[in-house]
């Protein structure tokens, strides 16, 4: 018995592309989702596993860069196939795909007699491919905004940045769920499709999944080679254009990754406030120490305080005056301000205790003057 | 001769034993009834007199007058404590010679005596930033008596509940201000300080509510910084306290949901000593000079103020940039509508797409199961 006929499906370069995307996608998912759900215990455990949040972010950004580079390469390759090789654009979605999907669904429900007969890329594969394209575009745009928020806010309202974060997270959940439900089911669970690793499908697999393409192959329609001369002419036109275009995109990726220094890396030292700034030149003495009593006199304490706080109004201007000891004891129009030996009955203490006086004494000053009055308001 | 020595030894032994017994009794039951041997009247016969001044070698004067009424009014005086219970090295006059060069030496030689009764709080202070500074040779670092004047200290906590008395709460900032006057000057103008000092508002924090008391940690460490959002959240997520002032309790949630808060929280949990440039509450709102959000000079609701705040870390930020921060609001159709509608879109889009896929996959599985069943029945 001869070996079953194999039909090539994916070239080595395509398989490498797929492997790169798997690597980038899985890395992005396992480093990205824990960032989205950072409050959850599982997310914290994963972040710790990756070496902390900063490292997780760095890994995420490396994977993102890999995916962007792969996208640039993919664009160039697709351009080559479309403009140089001029292969059939079998990945473009058509109305027929919609009809196929509907028929497949009805067939599953037993409402249609036959599975749809599909070509090189069936509707399931196209849905995947274009989902990936859409997802990658959304992720690159929103990722740029988060990676370069200062630049983004220069052109757009600031709110675009948290909105980009919301979209990036929503799109991530969508992509991961789609891969699990759609991709895993159709190529791993339903029947393990190894073509992305081996590069080929058996005749039987072709007959089941891509009967129209198989018919084309048998009829000799598929993969018709281009005339060498034409090929060369097209290459000469395409390669410089594609080269410039790709270089432009690569420069874009480079700017994406290095464009801005979003924040300073080290915080400035906390504002210059003197931590140790004692209210008295030396810390208070260790005991409750009334000021030495020798100081509690008109000359030693009261006169300097009054001169400082009160003299502007209660000086030589008339009315109550604190200019001299005699003036101070004499009082003003409403009687004596100081009643020696009776601070509580002294107008001065009453007014000052109420607070808000234009020449308000500090608590300490008032306490000392109160004490002075209670001690009989000595002059010396 | 040996006999005489033996008697000397025995009497010395008994004497020391007796003294120890008296001491033990005195400190085991420290109360008014304790009679450690030397009455306060004896001490006050000199120290109650005015002008008890000692000139120290440094040239400073040590004031040794104790106001008997002030002491009698203090928590220690009311408890009936004797001078010699704290001044354990002094029993009579003349006193043992003091080696203190200046007033600070006197304080530093005395404060460990507090440990005799207040061992719990004393041990807490051993972990404090003050004690560390002291050990590093900073003689200015506060010890017990710098905050609690033992001869005049009033009761600070309620005797039954051990809760801080409202009067004491208000006085705390003045106590710390004795050494930290510049910080106090900032604090008294802040939204918290003004409310406490002017309105005697018990809801606002005094120094110790954020810094702790006795075991005060070093507030300049990375660990303190990473933990600080929890300090603010203690009050700012308390609905009972915040509702009085119409302040949102979502401030912590919304901070944690943001890039800055997420990072800080993860650092705090996983690498608590990590130095980070991500802001915590006080980087934007201020440390001791916290202003109301609508304060024209500093309030972060004022757009220019917010931009300036962002620019401290994002020097290139333009006027649009501050809107990237959702200002502690959950996205809604009013506040941050773009974010709200993007979220809404994905709330509908994800179930639609995934639901459609799941439906198709389910139909495929169903058909295969039925087919297999039929196949099995046929064979």
Residues of B in contact with A157 (CB under 8 A): 320, 323, 338
Could you say which residues from 67 to 96 on chain B have a Cβ atom under 8 Å away from some Cβ of chain A?
67, 70-71
* Pick from B71, B262, B316: CB nearest A38: B262
DSSP B315: T
pLDDT in tens, B37-73: 788 989 998 898 877 888 899 988 888 989 888 899 9
* Pick from A38, A154, A289: CB nearest B318: A154
Q: According to the model, what pLDDT value does residue A285 have?
A: 46
Locate tokens 């990237």: which residue? B324
- CA distances to A319, A330, A351, A362 from A312, in Å: 12, 18, 17, 17
Q: In sequence order, which residues have a C-beta less than 8 Å from that of residue B149 and are 6 or more positions away?
A: A284, A287, A288
Do residue B314 and residue A150 have CB atoms under 8 angstroms apart? Answer: yes
- Asked if the C-beta of B62 comes within 8 angstroms of chain A's C-beta atoms, the answer is yes
pLDDT in tens, A18-77: 999 999 999 999 999 999 999 999 999 999 999 999 999 999 999 999 999 999 999 999
Q: According to the model, what pLDDT value does residue B177 have?
A: 94
DSSP B321: G
Nearest-neighbour CA in chain A from B276: distance (Å) = 7
Do the beta carbons of residue B53 and residue A292 sit within 8 Å? yes
- Asked if the C-beta of B25 comes within 8 angstroms of chain A's C-beta atoms, the answer is no
- Chains A, B: CB pairs < 8 Å: 219
Q: According to the model, what pLDDT value does residue A271 have?
A: 62
Closest by CA position to B329, among listed B293, B361, B287 = B293
- CA distances to A204, A215, A269 from A276, in Å: 86, 89, 17
- CA distances to A24, A60, A121, B261 from A48, in Å: 20, 14, 42, 17
Beta-bridge partners for B62 = B54
* Pick from B104, B183, B318: CB nearest A283: B104
Cα separation, B169 vs A189, in Å, equals 68
Angle at A202 between CA A199 and CA A204, to 5 degrees: 150
Nearest-neighbour CA in chain A from B316: distance (Å) = 7
Measured N-to-C along each axis, helices B337-378 and A160-178 cross at an angle, to the nearest 10 degrees, of 0
> Would you list the DSSP string of A67-131?
HHHHHHHHHHHHHIIIIII----TTS--HHHHHHHHHHHHHHTT-SSS-----SS-HHHHHHHHH
How many residues are given for chain B? 379
pLDDT in tens, A146-176: 999 999 999 999 999 999 999 999 999 999 9
pLDDT in tens, A322-369: 888 888 888 887 778 888 888 888 888 888 888 777 777 877 788 888
Do residue A35 and residue B262 have CB atoms under 8 angstroms apart? Answer: yes
Do residue A265 and residue B277 have CB atoms under 8 angstroms apart? Answer: yes
* Token couple for A244: 């410039």
Name the burial class of residue A7, with classes exposed (0-12), middle (13-18) and buried (19+) by CB atoms within 10 angstroms of its CB.
middle
Residues of B in contact with A372 (CB under 8 A): none
Do residue B277 and residue A290 have CB atoms under 8 angstroms apart? Answer: no
Residues of A in contact with B262 (CB under 8 A): 35, 38-39, 53
Q: In sequence order, which residues have a C-beta less than 8 Å from that of residue B191 and are 6 or more positions away?
A: B204, B290, B291, B292, B295
Do the beta carbons of residue A174 and residue A183 sit within 8 Å? no
Closest residue on chain A to B53 (Cα): A292
Cα separation, A226 vs A232, in Å, equals 10
Q: According to the model, what pLDDT value does residue B213 have?
A: 94
Q: According to the model, what pLDDT value does residue A304 have?
A: 79
Using only C-alpha atoms, what is the Rg of chain A? 43
- CA distances to A313, B88, B155 from B148, in Å: 39, 19, 10
Q: In sequence order, which residues have a C-beta less than 8 Å from that of residue B182 and are 6 or more positions away?
A: A273, A274, A275, A277
Cα separation, B80 vs B72, in Å, equals 8
pLDDT in tens, B285-331: 999 999 999 999 989 999 999 999 999 999 999 999 999 999 999 99
Cα separation, A130 vs A275, in Å, equals 62
Closest residue on chain A to B109 (Cα): A286
Question: Which of B245-282 are b and which e, b meaning 16 or more Cβ less than 10 Å from the residue's Cβ?
Answer: eeeebebbbbbbbbbbbbbbbbbbeebeebebebbbbb
- pLDDT tens over chain B, length 379 residues: 445 566 665 665 555 555 555 444 444 444 443 444 788 989 998 898 877 888 899 988 888 989 888 899 999 999 999 999 999 989 888 899 888 999 899 999 999 999 999 999 999 999 999 999 999 999 999 999 999 999 999 999 998 998 999 889 999 999 999 999 999 999 999 999 999 999 999 999 999 999 999 999 999 999 999 999 999 999 999 999 999 999 999 999 999 999 999 999 999 999 999 999 999 999 999 999 999 999 999 899 999 999 999 999 999 999 999 999 999 999 999 999 999 999 999 999 999 999 999 999 999 999 999 888 887 666 5
Do residue A278 and residue B317 have CB atoms under 8 angstroms apart? Answer: no
pLDDT band at residue A293 using 50, 70 and 90 as cut-offs? very low
* Token couple for B184: 């106090």
- CA distances to A373, B77, B117, B154, B175 from B158, in Å: 35, 17, 18, 11, 19
Residues of A in contact with B274 (CB under 8 A): 52
* Pick from A110, A166, A270: CB nearest B287: A270
Residues of B in contact with A35 (CB under 8 A): 262
Provide the percentage of residues in chain B whose pLDDT is more than 70: 89
Do residue B342 and residue A178 have CB atoms under 8 angstroms apart? Answer: no
Do residue A277 and residue B179 have CB atoms under 8 angstroms apart? Answer: yes
Residues of B in contact with A278 (CB under 8 A): 140, 178-179, 181
Q: According to the model, what pLDDT value does residue B51 have?
A: 76
Cα separation, A227 vs A229, in Å, equals 6
Could you say which residues from 176 to 195 on chain B have a Cβ atom under 8 Å away from some Cβ of chain A?
177-183, 186
Do the beta carbons of residue A175 and residue A131 sit within 8 Å? yes
Q: Mean pLDDT over all residues of chain A? A: 88
Name the burial class of residue A250, with classes exposed (0-12), middle (13-18) and buried (19+) by CB atoms within 10 angstroms of its CB.
middle
- Asked if the C-beta of B357 comes within 8 angstroms of chain A's C-beta atoms, the answer is yes
Cα separation, A346 vs A354, in Å, equals 13
Torsion sign (Cα): B47, B50, B54, B58:
positive
DSSP B163: P
Q: According to the model, what pLDDT value does residue B17 have?
A: 55
Do residue A38 and residue B322 have CB atoms under 8 angstroms apart? Answer: no
Q: According to the model, what pLDDT value does residue B25 have?
A: 45
* Token couple for A250: 């690569």
Do the beta carbons of residue A301 and residue A368 sit within 8 Å? yes
Do residue A159 and residue B51 have CB atoms under 8 angstroms apart? Answer: no
Do residue B178 and residue A278 have CB atoms under 8 angstroms apart? Answer: yes
**ipTM score:** 0.81
Residues of A in contact with B183 (CB under 8 A): 273, 275, 277
- Asked if the C-beta of B22 comes within 8 angstroms of chain A's C-beta atoms, the answer is no
Do residue B63 and residue A284 have CB atoms under 8 angstroms apart? Answer: no
Closest by CA position to B31, among listed B85, B101, B96 = B85
pLDDT in tens, A230-279: 999 999 999 999 999 999 999 999 998 988 888 888 877 766 688 888 88
Q: According to the model, what pLDDT value does residue A191 have?
A: 86
Closest residue on chain A to B148 (Cα): A286
Q: According to the model, what pLDDT value does residue B27 have?
A: 47
pLDDT in tens, A111-127: 999 999 999 999 999 99
């Amino acid at each position: 018995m001869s070996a079953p006929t194999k039909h090539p499906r994916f070239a080595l370069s395509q398989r490498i592309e797929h492997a790169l995307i798997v690597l980038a996608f899985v890395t992005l998912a396992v480093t990205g989702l824990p960032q989205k759900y950072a409050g959850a215990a599982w997310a914290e455990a994963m972040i710790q596993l990756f070496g902390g949040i900063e490292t997780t972010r760095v890994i995420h950004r490396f994977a993102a860069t890999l995916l962007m580079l792969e996208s640039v390469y993919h664009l160039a390759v697709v351009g080559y196939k479309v403009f140089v090789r001029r292969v059939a654009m079998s990945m473009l979605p058509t109305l027929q795909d919609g009809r196929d999907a509907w028929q497949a669904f009805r067939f599953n429900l037993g409402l249609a007699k036959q599975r749809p007969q599909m070509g090189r890329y069936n509707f399931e594969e196209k849905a995947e491919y274009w989902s990936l394209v859409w997802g990658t575009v959304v992720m690159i745009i929103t990722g740029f905004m988060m990676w370069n928020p200062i630049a983004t806010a220069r052109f757009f309202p600031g709110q675009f940045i948290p909105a980009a974060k919301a979209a990036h997270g929503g799109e991530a959940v969508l992509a991961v769920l789609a891969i699990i439900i759609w991709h895993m089911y159709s190529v791993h669970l339903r029947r393990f499709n190894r073509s992305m690793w081996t590069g080929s499908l058996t005749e039987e697999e072709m007959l089941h999944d891509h009967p129209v393409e198989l018919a084309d192959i048998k009829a000799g329609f598929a993969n018709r080679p281009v005339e060498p001369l034409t090929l060369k002419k097209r290459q000469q036109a395409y390669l410089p254009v594609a080269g410039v275009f790709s270089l432009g995109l690569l420069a874009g990726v480079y700017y994406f990754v290095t464009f801005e220094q979003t924040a300073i890396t080290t915080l400035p030292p906390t504002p210059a406030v003197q931590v140790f700034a004692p209210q008295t030149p030396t810390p208070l003495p260790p005991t409750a120490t009334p000021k030495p009593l020798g100081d509690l006199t008109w000359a030693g304490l009261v006169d300097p305080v009054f001169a400082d706080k009160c003299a502007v109004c209660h000086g030589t201007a008339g009315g109550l005056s604190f200019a001299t000891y005699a003036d101070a004891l004499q009082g003003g129009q409403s009687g004596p301000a100081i009643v020696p030996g009776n601070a509580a009955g002294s107008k001065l203490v009453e007014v000052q205790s109420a607070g808000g006086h234009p020449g308000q004494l500090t608590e300490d000053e008032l306490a000392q003057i109160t004490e002075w009055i209670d001690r009989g308001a000595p002059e010396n | 001769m040996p006999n005489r020595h033996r008697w000397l030894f025995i009497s010395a032994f008994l004497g020391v034993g007796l003294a120890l017994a008296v001491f033990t009794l005195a400190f085991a039951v420290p109360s008014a009834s304790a009679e450690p041997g030397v009455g306060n009247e004896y001490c006050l016969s000199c120290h109650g007199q005015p002008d008890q001044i000692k000139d120290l070698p440094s040239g400073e004067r040590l004031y040794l007058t104790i106001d008997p009424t002030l002491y009698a009014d203090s928590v220690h005086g009311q408890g009936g404590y004797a001078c010699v219970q704290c001044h354990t090295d002094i029993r009579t006059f003349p006193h043992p010679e003091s080696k203190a060069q200046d007033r600070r030496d006197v304080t530093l030689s005395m404060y460990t005596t507090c440990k005799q009764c207040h061992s719990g709080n004393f041990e807490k202070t051993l972990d404090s930033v003050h004690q560390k500074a002291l050990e590093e040779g900073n003689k200015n670092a506060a010890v017990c008596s710098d905050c609690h004047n033992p001869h005049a200290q009033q009761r600070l906590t309620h005797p039954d509940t051990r809760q801080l008395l409202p009067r004491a709460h208000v006085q705390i900032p003045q106590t710390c201000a004795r050494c930290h006057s510049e910080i106090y000057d900032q604090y008294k103008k802040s939204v918290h300080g003004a409310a406490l000092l002017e309105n005697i508002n018990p809801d606002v924090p005094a120094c110790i509510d954020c810094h702790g008391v006795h075991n005060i940690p070093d507030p300049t460490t990375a660990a303190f910084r990473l933990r600080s959002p929890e300090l603010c959240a203690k009050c700012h997520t308390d609905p009972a306290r915040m509702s009085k002032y119409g302040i949102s309790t979502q401030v912590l949630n919304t901070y944690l949901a943001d890039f800055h808060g997420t990072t800080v929280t993860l650092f705090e949990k996983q690498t608590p000593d990590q130095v980070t440039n991500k802001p915590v509450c006080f980087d934007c709102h201020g440390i001791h000079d916290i202003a109301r959000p609508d304060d024209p000079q500093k309030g972060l609701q004022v757009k220019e103020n917010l931009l300036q705040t962002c620019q401290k870390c994002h020097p290139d930020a333009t006027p649009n940039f501050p809107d990237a921060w959702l200002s502690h609001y959950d996205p809604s159709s009013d506040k941050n509508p773009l974010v709200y509608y993007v979220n809404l879109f994905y709330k509908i889009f994800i179930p639609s797409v995934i639901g459609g896929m799941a439906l198709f996959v389910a139909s495929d599985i169903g058909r295969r199961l039925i087919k297999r069943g039929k196949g099995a029945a046929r064979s």
